Amino acid sequence: MSSIIDFQSAADRAAAHAKAFVHMEGDVCDLERMAHIALAQIQDCSVPDDDHGCRELELAVFAVAQLTIMAKAFRKNYEAAYRGQEWPE
């Protein structure tokens, strides 16, 4: 009994990659914006010695944590799309 492996054609691979990149645009923009917020918040933080400093630190920690979540989801979705699976909405 022989087994034949079907490989994607170059056109099919290109179409899958094009679709993945189209779906990535919004996520890439969101990821970049969150990174910008995280950077700005971290740069403005110092050792909190007042309520304002504590608030700035809280915002920085939140932004960096959210950026981590978004980046992990982005990578997971991109890798799924790269394998030809549907991009989750």
Domain ranges of the chain: 28-89
* Cβ neighbours around 81 below 10 Å, total: 20
- Summary mean pLDDT of the chain: 82
Instruction: Provide the pLDDT for residue 1.
Output: 55
pTM flag (> 0.85): no
Q: Report percent pLDDT > 70 for the chain.
A: 90
Q: Report percent pLDDT > 90 for the chain.
A: 2
Comparing CA positions, the residue from 29, 31, 35 lying closest to residue 73 is: 31
Instruction: Provide the pLDDT for residue 89.
Output: 64
Please give the single-letter amino acid code of residue 7: F
Instruction: Provide the pLDDT for residue 17.
Output: 81
CA quadruple 23, 77, 33, 58: dihedral sign: positive
53's enclosing H/E stretch is helix 51-82
Q: How far does CA 73 lie from the centroid of its chain?
A: 6
Tokens of 89: 């909405």
